């Protein structure tokens, strides 16, 4: 590891907000903001291309009275690389390539959680008629959404009924009534595995807990592909350098962070007859997705929360100029996961791996030190054959090591001059599993209830120098002509005179 990490335990969401204030990384909005569309619009316009501030809304319409149960909402905590570095305990200017290298190892590190008797999340315990989801300022994030979404960056906790292994994931959830939250989940996801296991064990409902608002490592881990059978709480402990303190829920046999802002407990109906209408929603693709349809719903049994709790939310959907928290985190961790897949598959010569944040890991860029023909095809086959590819890596572009994959102009240049579609440099893998939210997939093929997942036709762009070409004796045995870039000697001679020539700043 070429960088030193100093883990930081922020304690809770409030400790994280305090750290952001000190670093000048948060914008507090004290003007009244409407939860109905306006709040989400502000967040989308303010989050920027990986450089916008974290946002704390202190004055939300209809929720700003002295006796309002919840008056504030925090978002965009991890929508910048600087704040991602803060969460990981790294220098703020750490290069994204180094973040990917760190990400290759961090999900395998473990510090088990610690069970405690109680904590601030138990300051208020609501059951029976006291349960009312409308007491919390869940936004109508987008005008096109099917309802108000309280679960956008919440940790959804379930466990396997046989092994008791816990999963902590992020899944969207809509407020359907004062006591119901229908959710979008796929059978191929870990929560889907638990859902199926509870069904097969003969149960009618599955216990669930939604944790809203805690340290940034929770949302980060819940949104990443932690290996099945590993508890995300163990990984959170490793990231923060200290065990996560967990307290038992009131009405379900699950444990949650003791200093969380809000915990919503419930039972998810397993019978399709109990499903509740959910959707659509402006999704991570940057398009409206997930049609209005019956979905598994949590029947809320209890809500616990801190005094004056802070709701945690995130605007989903990454687009040019506006990167979501999901997109920024995925750009690092989906690249790290793909690199690990390639290592485990024995693909040699991997130099760098990157997922640009604008599409949250749908396109994968790989730089290799090419030593034999067909190596780029091996890269694609290894990635697409892994479970990590379920909702990522639809298109893979492989380039030679001289191409900087963090510079898309360089990648585009390689595609322009090293790709010949007639020489098998474009390869399509048809009818694989894929993201059911992708609008380029036919509507019928996005039906998760019918097929369990979406359908993707995947593509490899092999933008490496083609080793099938014969060596050219006129080029000294090279297969491609030399580029027009000056030699290192000629470049140095000019740079030595750079200021003398009247230039202000030497090019990088």
CA–CA dist 327, 285 (Å, integer): 10
Tens-binned pLDDT, residue by residue, of the chain (508 aa)? 457 899 999 999 999 999 999 999 999 999 999 999 999 999 999 999 988 999 999 999 999 999 999 999 999 999 999 999 999 999 999 999 999 999 998 888 999 999 999 999 999 999 999 999 999 999 999 999 999 999 999 999 999 999 998 999 999 999 999 999 999 987 768 888 899 999 999 999 999 999 999 999 999 999 887 877 788 999 999 999 999 999 999 999 999 999 999 999 999 999 999 999 999 999 888 888 777 999 999 999 999 999 999 999 999 988 999 999 999 999 999 999 999 999 999 999 999 999 999 988 899 999 999 999 999 999 999 999 998 888 899 999 999 999 999 999 999 999 999 999 999 999 999 988 888 778 878 877 777 667 767 788 999 999 999 988 888 888 888 888 888 889 999 999 999 999 999 998 777 6
By the 8 A CB rule, do 87 and 239 touch? yes
The rounded radius of gyration (Å) of the Cα atoms in the chain is 24
Per-residue confidence (pLDDT) for residue 2, from 0 to 100: 59
Per-residue confidence (pLDDT) for residue 248, from 0 to 100: 98
Q: Is the dihedral of CA 447, 451, 454, 456 positive or negative?
A: negative
Domains, the chain = 13-312 (2.30.110.10), 325-463 (3.40.1670.10)
143: which DSSP letter?
A: T
By the 8 A CB rule, do 167 and 196 touch? no
Q: How far is CA 146 from CA 203, 256, 287, 292, in A?
A: 30, 29, 14, 7
Per-residue confidence (pLDDT) for residue 402, from 0 to 100: 96
Which SS3 state, helix, strand or coil, does residue 47 take?
coil
Taking alpha carbons only, the member of 229, 324, 344 closest to residue 281 is: 324
User: What's the whole-model pTM score?
Assistant: 0.91
Residue 204, judged by CB atoms within 10 A of its CB (0-12, 13-18, 19+), counts as exposed
CA–CA dist 437, 285 (Å, integer): 7
Per-residue confidence (pLDDT) for residue 188, from 0 to 100: 67
């Amino acid at each position: 590891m070429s960088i030193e990490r100093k883990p930081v335990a922020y304690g809770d969401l409030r400790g994280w907000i305090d750290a952001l204030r000190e670093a000048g990384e948060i914008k507090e909005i004290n003007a009244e903001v409407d939860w109905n569309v306006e709040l989400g619009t502000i967040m989308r316009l303010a989050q920027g291309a990986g450089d916008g501030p974290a946002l704390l809304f202190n004055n939300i319409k209809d929720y700003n009275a002295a006796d309002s149960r919840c008056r504030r909402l925090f978002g965009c905590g991890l929508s910048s690389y600087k704040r991602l570095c803060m969460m990981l305990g790294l220098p703020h200017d750490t290069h994204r390539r180094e973040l990917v290298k760190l990400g290759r190892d961090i999900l395998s590190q473990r510090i088990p959680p610690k069970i405690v008797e109680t904590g601030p999340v138990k300051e208020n315990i609501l059951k029976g008629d006291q349960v009312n989801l409308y007491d919390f300022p869940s936004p109508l994030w987008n005008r096109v959404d099917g309802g108000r979404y309280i679960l956008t960056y919440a940790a959804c906790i379930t466990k396997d009924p046989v092994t008791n292994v816990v999963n902590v994931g992020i899944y969207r959830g809509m407020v359907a009534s004062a006591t119901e939250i229908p959710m979008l989940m796929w059978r191929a996801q870990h929560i889907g595995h638990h859902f199926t296991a509870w069904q097969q064990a003969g149960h009618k409902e599955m216990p669930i807990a939604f944790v809203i608002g805690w340290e940034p490592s929770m949302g980060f881990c819940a949104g990443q592909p932690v290996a099945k059978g590993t508890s995300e709480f163990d990984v959170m402990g490793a990231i923060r350098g200290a065990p996560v303190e967990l307290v038992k829920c009131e009405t379900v046999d699950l444990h949650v962070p003791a200093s969380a802002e809000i915990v919503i407990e419930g039972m998810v109906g397993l019978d399709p007859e109990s499903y509740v209408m959910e959707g659509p929603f402006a999704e991570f693709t940057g398009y409206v997705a997930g049609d209005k349809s019956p979905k598994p719903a949590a029947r809320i049994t209890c809500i616990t929360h801190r005094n004056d709790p802070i709701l945690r939310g995130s605007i989903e959907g990454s687009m040019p100029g506006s990167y979501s928290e999901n997109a920024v985190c995925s750009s690092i961790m989906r690249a790290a996961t793909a690199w690990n897949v390639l290592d485990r598959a024995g693909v040699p010569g991997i130099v760098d791996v990157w997922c640009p944040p604008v599409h949250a890991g749908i396109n994968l860029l790989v730089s290799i030190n090419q030593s034999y023909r067909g190596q780029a095809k091996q890269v694609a086959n290894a990635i697409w054959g892994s479970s990590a590819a379920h909702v990522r890596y639809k298109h893979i572009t492989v380039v030679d090591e001289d191409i900087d994959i963090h510079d898309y102009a360089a990648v585009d240049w390689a595609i322009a001059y090293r790709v010949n579609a007639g020489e098998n440099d474009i390869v399509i893998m048809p009818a694989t599993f894929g993201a059911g939210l992708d609008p380029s997939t036919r509507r019928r093929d996005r039906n998760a209830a019918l097929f369990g997942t979406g359908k993707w036709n995947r593509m490899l762009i092999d933008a490496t120098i083609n080793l099938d070409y014969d060596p050219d004796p006129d080029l000294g045995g090279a297969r491609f002509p030399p580029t027009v870039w000056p030699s290192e000697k000629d470049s140095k001679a000019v740079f030595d005179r750079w200021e003398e020539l009247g230039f202000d700043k030497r090019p990088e």
